[in-house]
Amino acid sequence: MNDLSQSKDDFIPVIDIGDYLAGDADARDVIASQLRHAMENVGFYILDNHGVSIEQIESTLEAVKRFHAQPLEAKMALLGNEHNIGYMAVNTSRSRASQVDADAVRKPNFVEAFFVKRDLPSDHPDVVAGKLYRPANMWPEELPGFRETILAYCRTMEALCQRMLPLYALALDLHADYFEEPFSEATYSFRMSHYPPAELGEKDQFGVSAHTDSSFLTMLPQGDLPGLEVKLPGHDWRLVEASRGSIVVNSGDLMRRWTNHRFLSTPHRAINNNPGKDRYAIPFFFDAHVDYPMSCLPTCQGLENPVRYEAITYTDYMKWFSRKNYDHVRDKAGTEADDPGVPRTQSIRD
């Protein structure tokens, strides 16, 4: 890794996994303890010495810039669908499906994005059957090398997430291999975001307004302009200034739900306060298989901490999430699904 150092801010912990990836048996338990503290108290951490090269991060960002530099009509030809793949235009998403200001009237997000999921062949049984969130991806025809670059990045990030799963299991007092079955063919979504300069948008409009992610975990490599702000419990919004080449990691609402609120899903938002400059971001969202029933983990419940939620699959949760947030999905999928995120006995805001 190049140019890695401690975070400029100390409010988000830095976790170095170099020794763990190198096979140091003693490092595993130490890092799992650090991870537990980060997830129970912050909901974010900064990952160092993770094995993803700065060269791959920057080549992926360059590919994303090439995609968004295309004429609008070329991007609209790949307009997103109910599987949440494809192109999402500026001002067509709103952050409505999270635990942050659930009843607030929000301005649309000043961002455009292109989404892909696991690259299934057109003759895969799930693609042929039209199985939700198991589609064939859409790809631009006029960008040589784009697909190859993006798929290489997805393979790298999925491999890293898989290497992290034993650490999450140990952090939750589970056997190290606990998550092997749920993530045997993990679901992932790669979002390629472009944030135009904020001064081109409306007053008080965010790139992505305050929200919590839906995912088990999100990985955001740092290789472009800063623009992620986080709001920790009891604190005001603060800009994350992580080192170039590091990865900012956070848990989402499915993690919070699966752990019965033991692990946090922390509010954050995206801005582009860099006058005259375009910002690009490449978050990778990692989840269990679309059909795996996520029931409250056995180490996250008890007499004083009863189970808050019914079991749910990624598919059922994301039906609601996508229809709430994305205009292009709501238009294609019809009426909104019932909110699956409210606990049995508690408000979603607790």
Q: How many CB atoms lie within 10 A of CB 344?
A: 9
Confidence of residue 350 (pLDDT cuts 50, 70, 90): very low
Q: Which two tokens stand for residue 257?
A: 């739900």
Confidence of residue 250 (pLDDT cuts 50, 70, 90): very high
Question: Looking at 93-97, 113-117, 241-245, 291-295, which range is the least confident one?
Answer: 93-97
DSSP conformational letter for 83: T
Maximum distance among all alpha carbons in the chain? 59
Nearest to 207 by CA among 150, 280, 276, 286: 280
What is the pLDDT, as a whole number, of residue 205? 83
Q: Give the residue with greater pLDDT, 236 vs 335.
A: 236
| CA-angle at 17, arms to 12 and 22, nearest 5° | 175
Q: Give the residue with greater pLDDT, 109 vs 247.
A: 247
Q: What is the mean pLDDT of the chain?
A: 88
Q: Which residues, 6 or more positions from 343, have their beta carbon under 8 angstroms from its beta carbon?
A: 308, 309, 350
What is the pLDDT, as a whole number, of residue 6? 39
* pLDDT tens track for 134-151: 999 999 999 999 999 999
Q: Is the pLDDT of residue 295 over 50?
A: yes
**For the chain, give me the number of helices (H) and strands (E)?**
9, 13
Residue located via tokens 């009891």: 234
**CA–CA separation, 89 and 113 (whole Å):** 7
Residue spans per domain, the chain: 14-333
Confidence of residue 331 (pLDDT cuts 50, 70, 90): low
What is the pLDDT, as a whole number, of residue 338? 55
Residues for the chain: how many in total? 350
Going through the chain in order, the beta strands assigned E by DSSP cover 14-16, 44-48, 86-88, 112-117, 187-195, 208-211, 217-221, 228-231, 237-239, 247-251, 268-270, 279-281, 284-287
Q: Is the pLDDT of residue 165 over 60?
A: yes
Identity at 25, one-letter amino acid code: A
**CA–CA separation, 200 and 301 (whole Å):** 48
Exposed/middle/buried for residue 73 (C-beta within 10 Å: 0-12, 13-18, 19+): exposed
Q: Is the pLDDT of residue 226 over 80?
A: yes
Residue located via tokens 């690259």: 119
Q: Which two tokens stand for residue 88?
A: 């999402």
Percent of the chain with pLDDT over 90: 73
Q: Is the pLDDT of residue 275 over 70?
A: yes
Q: Is the pLDDT of residue 106 over 50?
A: yes
Mean pLDDT of the 323-340 span: 53
**CA–CA separation, 138 and 122 (whole Å):** 11
Query: What is residue 247's three-state secondary structure?
Result: strand
Nearest to 83 by CA among 339, 349, 332, 343: 332
What is the pLDDT, as a whole number, of residue 344? 42
Q: Which CATH architecture has domain 14-333?
A: Sandwich (2.60)
Nearest to 314 by CA among 218, 210, 188: 188
* pLDDT tens track for 40-60: 999 999 999 999 999 999 999
What is the pLDDT, as a whole number, of residue 346? 33
